[in-house]
Amino acid sequence: MGEVKLISEFYVRPQAEVNKSNQKYYLVPSELNLLLLSYLKCGYLYKKPQDFNTVLYFEKLKLSLSMALVHFYPLGGQLVTETYEHDHSSRIFVDFSKGRGVKVIHAIAPDLRLDDIISPNNDIPMVVRSFFSFNDQLINYDGHIQPLALFQVTELKDGVFLGISINHCLVDGTSAVHFLSTWSKFFMSSSSLPPSISHVPIIRPSFLNNIQTNNKLPYIKPSEFVIRTTPNNGIRERIFHFSNNTIAMLKCKANSQASHYQHKISSLQAISAFIWRSISRARNLHSNNLTSCTMITDLRPRFTPPLSRHCFGCFLNEAAVTVNITDLLSNNLGWAASLLHEKVIRLDDKVARHVFCKSPELEISCNASSGPNPVIVVGSPRLDLYGCEYGLGRPLGVIIGADNDDGEITISSSSKLDGSMDVQVSLASYAMNALLLDQEFMSFTSYIKSTL
C-alpha cells in the first residue's frame, strides 16, 4: 500500500538561549527504567487544504517549534553517560549543548488517501509505521546518538500526517501534550515573536534536585545492559469507539456490582476492566492460566501536595493486578474493576516518592514487565489530543505508535469531545479475530468512527 518517500530533513534548536541550559539534567530512577523501551509516538491526521503551500508551511513549523523549545529546552539536547570506574556505575543526563536539536522530516506518500489510513472496520495499516521516524527500531537509550524528539510530516494525496516521536525518558503523555499544545499555539499565532503562555513547564520539581544517590546504573558499557527486542509483526492494531452513554453504562454497572466501592470506580477503571475480561476471553486461555492488567498511572496528583500537571518529565508508575483466568471470567465486571481501583488508590505520596528514589530496574518491554498474558492500559481520556491544529484545523484522527506488544491498549478522548473514548487495541491476530466475534464486547463498542 503506497510508498513513503523522504524529501528533506532539518534540525531546530531553541530560538533564544536558555539560562538553565548549561545545567546537567540527570535522569532519575523512574526515567532510567525506560531506557530500553521505544520512544513515545503519537500521530495526527489532518485534511490537506487545497491551497497547501509546503514551503510556507515548513517555514512556520520551524519558527513555531523554535519558540516552543525555549520553554521545553530538554527536548533539544542529547543523552550523555558519566561513568565511575571505582564502583562500576554510571549516570545519564541530558546535555543541552550537544546534539543538533529536534529533527523534522518531510516525506510524501502521494498514492495514499485519508480513507486508506482511517477506513472504518479495518486494522490500522502497516504503512502507518513508516509515518514515524525510525518506527519501532528506536529505543530511548539511542538518545545518546539520535535526537530526543523527531517529527515527520508526511503529505498524503488529500491529507497530512504528523508523526511525533519523543524520548520516553523525558516525557509522558501529560508532558508531551503540554509541549504539543504550546507548539500549536505558537504556530497559530501571527506574530514572529513568541506569545506568552499561560502554563510554563516546570522543568524539575524541587524535590527531584536532591535525588543524587540512587540515580546510578550498575553498568559502565552499553553492552552490559542494552537489549533490543525483535518486533512482533504478527500483531494487529484496531481502534474501537466507546460512546459517552456506553461508558456511563459500564461505569454504573461496575459500581453497582462492587457495592463497597459504589460511585468510586472511575470510567477509566471500568473500561479497563471490561477490555481486560474481553481480551482474556478472546485469547481462549486454559482456566489455570494467569492474566494481568496493568494501568500506567500519572503520579503527579498522587503527591501531597499534588504536583502541577505542568511538571515536565515522566511521572508514571504501574498499578498491576494478576489473577487466575477462571476467577476473572467467572466473577463480574465490578469484581475486576474493584481490583484495579484498589491498586490505583494505593498509589499515595509515600509510593510516589519511593518511585523516584529507588534504584533503577530496567524494563525491556511492556509485556516483560507486566506479568503473564498481560493487558497494559496506557493513555488517558483527560489528555487533550485534539487541541493541536498546526494550521490544518482539528485533527481528523489520532493514532498512537504502538510497540507491537500483544495486549497493549491506548485510551484517549475522541474527536467528538463529548466524553466518548477511542481505544486502540494491539493483539495477536487470532485473538483479534476472536475479539471481533465477541458479542458482549461488540455490543458495547463500535469500530473507529466513519465520520472521520
Predicted confidence (pLDDT) per residue in 115-138, tens digit = 889 876 788 888 898 999 876 678
Question: Are residues 178 and 319 located together in one domain of the fold?
Answer: no
Over pLDDT 90: what percentage of the chain?
67
User: pLDDT at residue 1 above 90?
Assistant: no
pLDDT band for 30, please (50, 70, 90 cuts). Answer: confident
Predicted confidence at residue 23, as pLDDT, reads: 77
pLDDT band for 452, please (50, 70, 90 cuts). Answer: very low
DSSP designation for 214: S
Q: Which of 179, 200, 224 is the last residue of a domain?
A: 224
In a domain, 38, yes or no: yes
* Mean pLDDT for the stretch of residues 89-97: 92
Tens of pLDDT, residue by residue over 409-448, are 999 998 887 889 999 999 999 999 999 999 999 999 875 4
User: pLDDT at residue 61 above 70?
Assistant: yes
Question: Are residues 160 and 246 located together in one domain of the fold?
Answer: no
Question: Are residues 16 and 129 located together in one domain of the fold?
Answer: yes
* Mean pLDDT for the stretch of residues 19-31: 80
Residues in the chain: 452
In a domain, 452, yes or no: no
Question: Are residues 302 and 425 located together in one domain of the fold?
Answer: yes
In a domain, 229, yes or no: no
Element (H, E) at 238: strand 235-242
The span from the CA of 376 to the CA of 409, in Å, is 6
**Structural domain boundaries, residue 146:** 5-224
pTM of the complete model = 0.93
Q: Name which residue leads in pLDDT, 332 or 204.
A: 332
Predicted confidence at residue 63, as pLDDT, reads: 93
Over pLDDT 70: what percentage of the chain?
91
Predicted confidence at residue 402, as pLDDT, reads: 63
Predicted confidence at residue 419, as pLDDT, reads: 85
Beta bridge partners of 41: 165
Question: Are residues 91 and 140 located together in one domain of the fold?
Answer: yes
User: pLDDT at residue 187 above 90?
Assistant: yes
Predicted confidence at residue 401, as pLDDT, reads: 75
Tens of pLDDT, residue by residue over 35-57, are 999 999 999 999 999 999 999 99
Question: Are residues 267 and 126 located together in one domain of the fold?
Answer: no
Question: Are residues 205 and 251 located together in one domain of the fold?
Answer: no
Question: Are residues 194 and 255 located together in one domain of the fold?
Answer: no
User: pLDDT at residue 213 above 70?
Assistant: no
Question: Are residues 185 and 36 located together in one domain of the fold?
Answer: yes
Nearest to 444 by CA among 254, 235, 290: 254
Cell numbers found for residue 400: 498512537
Q: Which of 224, 243, 262 is the last residue of a domain?
A: 224
Report the chain's terminal Cα–Cα distance, integer Å.
Answer: 20
**pLDDT, the chain, mean:** 89
Predicted confidence at residue 204, as pLDDT, reads: 82
User: pLDDT at residue 222 above 70?
Assistant: yes
Tens of pLDDT, residue by residue over 227-263, are 887 777 789 999 999 999 999 999 999 999 987 766 6
Question: Are residues 110 and 246 located together in one domain of the fold?
Answer: no
The CATH code of the domain that includes 313 is: 3.30.559.10
**Count: domains in the chain:** 2
Question: Are residues 189 and 67 located together in one domain of the fold?
Answer: yes
Cα-to-chain-centroid distance, residue 364: 16
In a domain, 207, yes or no: yes
Q: Which of 189, 224, 259 is the last residue of a domain?
A: 224
User: pLDDT at residue 345 above 80?
Assistant: yes
Question: What's the burial of 284, exposed, middle or buried (CB within 10 Å: 0-12/13-18/19+)?
Answer: exposed
In a domain, 17, yes or no: yes
pLDDT band for 82, please (50, 70, 90 cuts). Answer: very high
In a domain, 230, yes or no: no
Largest Cα span, the chain: 64
Q: Name which residue leads in pLDDT, 1 or 63.
A: 63
Contact 162, 153 (CB under 8 A): yes
Question: Are residues 193 and 262 located together in one domain of the fold?
Answer: no
